[in-house]
Structure 1
Amino acid sequence: MERAVMSRHLLLLTAAIAVIGANSLALSPIAAAVAGAFPGRSAADVMTATALYGLATAGSALLLASMSDRIGAEHALGRALLLLAVSLGFAALSPALWVLIAAQALAGLAAGVALPAIYTLTAQVAAKGRESETLSFVLVGWTLSLVVGVGLAALLADLLHWRAVFSVLALAAAGLALGISRCRDWGTRAGGEEPSSCLKALRIPGIHAVLLNVAAYMTAFYGLYTYLGPHLGEVLQLPATFAGLAIAVYGLGFGVAAPLGRLVDRYGATAAACVTFAGLMLMYLGMAVSAALPLALLTLCLGWGVGNHLGLNLLMRQLAELDPMQRGAVMGLYSAITYLCVFAGALLYRPIFTHFGFAACAWASAMLVLPALGWALGQWRRKQAALE
């Protein structure tokens, strides 16, 4: 019975990530159709909504995520999903582009609270000794949003209308909010009498090193991911379907890595971190060497997805274990940095891609993973010294 309850919790959390991720990714493939509904507007104008969504998510995660520590992560998640459902409803009904943009900004506020709450609840419900396996299961939600969500959004826009995309997502968010409110036994709520905050969480010993690793790691990913499509389409002159296939292969790799979480629990996070970050560096270097070889890049995208899943798992697990009493605030910092890196990666990698090409971008990503590898090796050496 206990296992069935935990499975229900994890399915709800995975679905919540999938819905949030689908909304953040769905606008790009349907931007042209959305622009057609608003005379005088272009697809680029529509993508302003995505930019504000990202900024709102980062700001919300930084300022509001700590409410998970005050009212309980399950209550924070339920309210955030209700707000997400309302904002997506407004997006579906928007009579003008500015309403859609405002609705996506409101959705970003909801996502900034929901994502840290999801990660907090994942840590709460995980059985002892199965933390990485549990987190890997929930992270599959990002694969669902990338592979299924984006494709389904394009299909709905073609068969029905782009407004149907946001209508379906709004109904899904409302249904998940109801499901989470009816679920019990979310584990022990970690929280003190004094409300925590992200600024207070910055005083936790050891958090700065991990957050710097997260920032470098996320910049490495988003910077290269942003210019993968332009490289394949503009430089290699490949059809858009090939770029879509590359993203799908990455998502597949991210998804198939989920069962590997149990190996992290079995052999230890320190050893797994050394292998994972070294392997991810090799993937980036391989992409630099094979930048002009489409099939090789496609193959490496699979390994990239596997490595990125495990790397995220290890960094998030490290953050979650720093201070369970302030887990919501800590995960808020993680989410804020993640969404800021979406912009930082695109901004910093643009001159590299323009002047030196995709290979240089891949090499830069490899170097940005180097701090995480150095940190992992340092942890491993300290562990070995303690055993001697």
Structure 2
Amino acid sequence: MLTRNVLLLTGSIAIIGANSLVLSPVAASVAKSFVGIDAANVMTASAIYGLSTAVSALTLASTADRIGAERALLYALLVLSVALMGAASSPTLIVLCAAQALAGLAAGVALPAIYTLAAQIAEKGRESETLGVVLTGWTLSLVAGVSLSAVLADIVHWRAVFSLLAAASVGLAVAIGGSRNWGTAARADMPTSPFTALRVPGIVPVLLNVAAYMTAFYGLYSYLGPHLGVALRLPATFAGVAICAYGVGFGVAAPLGRLVDRYGTLTAATAAFAGLTLTYLGLAASAGHVFILMLCCVAWGVANHIGLNLLVRRLTQLDPQQRGAIMGLYSAITYFCVFVGALAYRPIFEQLGFAACALLSAACVVPALIGSFRRSSPDIVHKQL
């Protein structure tokens, strides 16, 4: 399953994910390079990146349906490399923000193209397994992006972090441009866009599940660090350990994709969303117990990986001719939920604490659980008959 192209897609997600995560651990170092700027100001560039990615996913991702997902990914990685070099050489915060805006435009095209190619090159009956491997790129970006970037910034300089990412992006672009066997793309009979994608039968309920799923994750994830540092008064190291625990769980779940292929997506969806609901309840119950909370973070990563796998696979199957536009909608919703989750959960965290946030996340997942159970029940009855 670890073919050259699968590894290239995994690496592409890792580079994009690393850039989206890297500013947080190096923000203090970046601030020292700019006069009159603090770490909070630096994170403005991260917010601009997220907004730019959402806009790009809505407006540009559908180009993959016309020119081919592999070409769209190639061009996006080249643009990303330019943006990352711009970030590495930024003389002011404004230039850094502009570079991250350009990086967001590239990411909004690249991510839908990656998911499209993952579905395109997967062997019949091994779709979830292939997608599971590709999704481990997020684990690489999460673990390496959070930990190694801070170390590199301390040992060398924060500019070296972006320079290294830029070089990796160029290398991936060259490798993707020289690679073949990307499968057969289903060309659209007419121009595609987010509006044509929204008319695909069955897409709206899935996108609503994506919105609830991502809000549940990003809302709670945003306040995991503050909970450990403020409420439990633990050193910052514990926040890094919790994030790594989540990343490890997300990564070790990759082989479970073959079980989804074996037992079917409906059965897997019911089990995954039930497990995720229980995990959020576990996070709420263990909010005051650090060791148990860390274990729950591992389970959180496992459940989130499987749930994400199922949602992405379902979307890529709805209309192969509009995969670019459909996955553009997915990416736009995802990055919008980064903003919504952090904003909506803040008053709950401040007034009621982390446990209440975890309970809200569990409630967000329940509709997806009920929907998957209803769809799987007739199938189970049919098999028994």
Shorter-chain TM-score tier: over 0.9
The code of the aligned residue for 2:325 comes to A
Q: Distance in 1 between matches of 2:91 and 2:338?
A: 29
TM-score for the superposition, normalised by structure 2: 0.98
Give the match for residue 257 of structure 1.
Answer: 253
**Number of the residue aligned with 1:235:** 231
Percentage identity across paired residues of the two chains: 66
| Number of equivalences | 384
* CA–CA separation in structure 1 for the residues paired with 2:50 and 2:85: 19
* Equivalent residue number for residue 379 of structure 1: 375
Opposite residue 125 of structure 2, the aligned amino acid is G
1:286 partner letter: G
TM-score w.r.t. structure 1 length?
0.98
Q: Structure 2 CA distance, aligned partners of 1:194 and 1:386?
A: 38
Tell me which residue corresponds to 1:181.
Answer: 177
Paired amino acid for 1:141: G
Letter in 2 for 1:285: L
What is the SS of the residue equivalent to 2:346? helix
1: distance between equivalents of 2:320 and 2:11?
24
Q: In the alignment, which residue of structure 2 is the partner of 1:325? A: 321
Q: Is it true that 1:82 corresponds to 2:78 in the alignment?
A: yes
Instruction: For residue 227 of structure 1, report the CA deviation from its aligned partner.
Output: 0.3
Q: Secondary structure at the match of 1:188?
A: coil
Report the residue type matching 2:248 in the other structure. Answer: L
Matched, 1:287 2:286: no
Partners in 1 of 2:310 and 2:319 — Cα distance? Answer: 16
Q: Which runs of 5+ in 2 are unaligned?
A: none
**TM alignment of 1:83-232, pairs within 5 A:** 83-232=79-228
Q: For 1:346, give the aligned amino acid.
A: A
Kindly provide the CA deviation profile for residues 240-280 of structure 1, in whole angstroms up to 9, marking residues without a partner as x: 10111010000000000000000110111110111110011
1:354-381: per-residue Cα shift (whole Å, max 9, x none)? 1111110000000000011011112102
Q: Deviations over 1:27-83 (max 9, x none)?
A: 000001000000100111100000000000001001100011000000000000000
Alignment match of 1:309 (pick from 302, 305, 308)? 305
Partner Cα distance (2:349, 2:96) in 1: 31
In the alignment, which residue of structure 1 is the partner of 2:364?
368
In the alignment, the residues of structure 2 paired with residue 383 and residue 334 of structure 1 have an alpha-carbon distance, to the nearest angstrom, of 27
Following the alignment from structure 1 to structure 2, what is the Cα–Cα distance between the partners of residues 23 and 221?
A: 19
Alpha-carbon distance in 1 for matches of 2:132, 2:27: 31
Question: C-alpha separation between the residues in 2 aligned to 1:284 and 1:294?
Answer: 15
Contact 2:129 2:255 (8 Å CA) reproduced: yes
Who is 2:69 aligned against? Answer: 73
Q: Secondary structure at the match of 2:61?
A: coil
* 1:212 counterpart SS class: helix
Amino acid at match of 1:13: L
State the distance in 1 between where 2:264 and 2:197 align: 26
Following TM superposition, by how much is the alpha carbon of 1:385 offset from its aligned partner in structure 2, in angstroms?
Answer: 5.2
Residues 198-225 of structure 1 deviation map (CA, whole Å, 9 limit, x = unaligned): 1110000110000000000000000000
- Identify the residue that residue 335 of structure 1 maps to in structure 2: 331
Partner of 1:349: 345
- Please give the residue correspondences for 1:23-102 in structure 2 after superposition, counting only pairs within 5 Å: 23-102=19-98
**CA positional deviation for 1:281:** 0.4
- One-letter amino acid of the structure 1 residue matched with residue 238 of structure 2: F
Identify the range of structure 1 (148-157 vs 59-68) with the bigger mean alpha-carbon deviation: 148-157
Report Cα offsets for 1:216-239 as digits up to 9, x if no partner: 000000000000000000000011
Q: Give 1:130 shift.
A: 0.2
RMSD value, Cα: 1.0
Shift of 1:149: 2.3
- 2:12 alignment counterpart: 16
Amino acid corresponding to residue 184 of structure 2 in structure 1: T
**Conserved in 1, the CA contact under 8 Å of 2:146 and 2:240?**
no
